[in-house]
Amino acid sequence: MIKDYILKIFFKLYNIFIFLLILLFIGLNYIYIKEEINYDKNKLQILTNNSKKINQYFLINKTFIFSLKDVLTNNLQLNELSHPAYNQINQKDDTYNILCVLDNIESSLTGIGKLEEIDLDTIHEIYSVLYLKPLFKTILNSKHDIKWVYYTSAKNFIYVAPSNEVWGKEFLTSFYKKEFWTNTIPLNNPKSELILTKIYDDTGKGYLTTLSLPITNKDKFMGVISIDISVNILNEMIDEDILIGSIYLVNKDDKIIASNKKFGLNDVLNSTPNILELSIFDDMLRLVYIEDKSKKIISIIRSSISQVLLLIFILSIIFMLCHLLILNKKIKLLANRDSLTSLLNRRAMRNESKKLLNITNRYNQDTSLLLLDIDFFKKVNDTYGHHIGDITIKEVANILSKNTRTSDLVSRYGGEEFLIMLSNTNSKKAYILAERIRNDISNLKIKNTDLKITISIGCTEYKRDEKLDSFINRVDLLLYKAKDQGRNQTVKG
């Protein structure tokens, strides 16, 4: 019985362990989902902030370029206009040029052709352009990492800052083949929209992209105003260390403008899963985030380690407490039970008997006592050994357990002696039960032996307010009487 009970305890502990494992799984899943939600919120916030910074940067440059347009357009519409710098115009071979300096900001105007061939409309346009110099200076000093500001005229001259260069005809002609010009002229830009070029390598300035806007006067295309933006400042706007994925700033053609990863000139961003996109700068650009799923999982696990350890610690404490409670029950069981038969031992029997007798006295109930002793048990040990003796005691205990109720107290009171206290039972009923037990035991067969097991029983009923020791002494005398009268019998008194 003790083994069965211990087995039940083991399965109970095992069930608790499985339950705690399920709780751990649920807890880990909850922690991961919560951390993933926080990660995604943080990711979106970072990307939103980056997109706002980049969008703000381009909006400022847009404001610059439209300010240049407004000033230039107003100048072109003036009937009378001149500029003192025009008096410094020089002819060199088949180009003409003007070099200007304003507060250490140098600028140059270079055109193709002869001075005597310049018409009045072109001169008026040059005057208008030269008045952009203070605004050029303001833009270049704005700390927005703008490398060049320039106006390219349809009449084959260019005004650029900062510059002190005098360019030749071949170099000037090559300007009109570049993307900032070809994509902005009315043929390719009939709606006169703001144009952002793909990135290109400008020797000495690094990777650049150009923001350009066509200039018209009285519905006539005049030229293109442009700002060259360094890609470096765009890369700096993209947080590098916070997000584990790749961030790309791409144009409408999916060509990469900036990134927190290395990229080549005019690299195209291929379509891939796990993408988050944010449109910026009037949908001319997109901020694209490509997530590395495995690195994301690792990052979430790392950020949730403290919570996981806390969960494991709490569940471990719960398991330990449950284990201690079950262990305490096991200790109590072992302390109160006979190790061979799993019946109550002598000490536990006396304690429980006192409790039962208190109930008997309180409610005036009948209680009876049976004291049983295996006849000639010493001969069993001497003849067959202690192993068979132990088997005999266990088989007798099993018969006692089967013939009694859960409300009765059954104990191994001595070596081969058993004490049974029957609740709510008078001596007549107790005697009947004793005889049934005696008959069952007399029919007991021990395997591999020819043993004939018999028992002697003393049977008596409790007297009100009688002490336990007196009660036991009376039944003990009846047991000895049964032995004196030849054994294998029940004596009632």
Domain boundaries in the chain?
A: 342-492
Active site residue 416: yes
* pLDDT score recorded for residue 67: 96
Q: How far apart are CA 274 and CA 270, in angstroms?
A: 12
Sheet holding 246-251, edge to edge: 256-259, 246-251, 285-290, 275-280
- Residue 168 has φ and ψ, to the nearest 5°, of -90, 175
**CATH number assigned to the domain with residue range 342-492, chosen from the 4 options 3.30.300.30, 3.90.1170.50, 3.30.70.270, 3.80.10.10:** 3.30.70.270
Q: How many helices (H) and strands (E) does the chain have?
A: 13, 18
How many Cβ atoms are within 10 Å of 105's Cβ, its own excluded? 19
| Both tokens assigned to 474 | 């009376």
Contact between 165 and 223 under an 8 Å Cβ cutoff? The reply is: no
Q: How far apart are CA 139 and CA 151, in angstroms?
A: 14
How many Cβ atoms are within 10 Å of 390's Cβ, its own excluded? 13
Kindly state the DSSP code that residue 344 receives in the 8-state scheme: B
Each residue's pLDDT, cut to its tens digit, for the chain (493 residues) gives: 555 666 676 777 788 889 889 998 999 999 999 998 998 888 888 888 888 999 999 999 999 999 999 999 999 999 889 999 999 999 988 999 999 887 788 999 999 999 999 999 999 999 999 999 999 999 999 888 899 999 999 999 999 999 888 889 999 999 999 999 999 999 999 999 999 999 888 877 788 999 999 999 999 999 999 999 998 888 888 865 667 778 888 888 888 888 888 887 778 888 777 678 889 988 889 888 888 888 888 888 888 899 999 989 998 998 888 888 877 777 776 678 888 998 999 999 999 999 999 999 999 999 999 999 999 999 999 889 999 999 999 999 999 999 999 999 999 999 999 999 999 999 999 999 999 999 999 999 988 888 899 999 999 999 988 999 999 999 999 999 999 999 999 999 8
Q: Widest CA span of the chain, in angstroms?
A: 158
SS3 label, residue 295: helix
The pTM of the full predicted model, rounded to 2 decimals, is: 0.64
Task: Give, to the nearest 10 degrees, the angle between helix 377-384 and helix 386-403.
Answer: 140
Task: Give, to the nearest 10 degrees, the angle between helix 346-363 and helix 305-336.
Answer: 80
The DSSP code sequence of 150-172 is: EEEETTSEEEEES------HHHH
- What does the chain come to in residues? 493
First to last CA, the chain: 32
The DSSP code sequence of 380-411 is: HHHHH-HHHHHHHHHHHHHHHHHHS-TTSEEE
Q: Catalytic residue among 416, 435, 461, 466, which? A: 416
Q: How far apart are CA 350 and CA 468, in angstroms?
A: 8
How many Cβ atoms are within 10 Å of 112's Cβ, its own excluded? 19
DSSP H or E stretch at residue 92? strand 90-92
Count CA atoms closer than 13 A to 74's CA, side-chain side.
8
Identity at 234, one-letter amino acid code: L
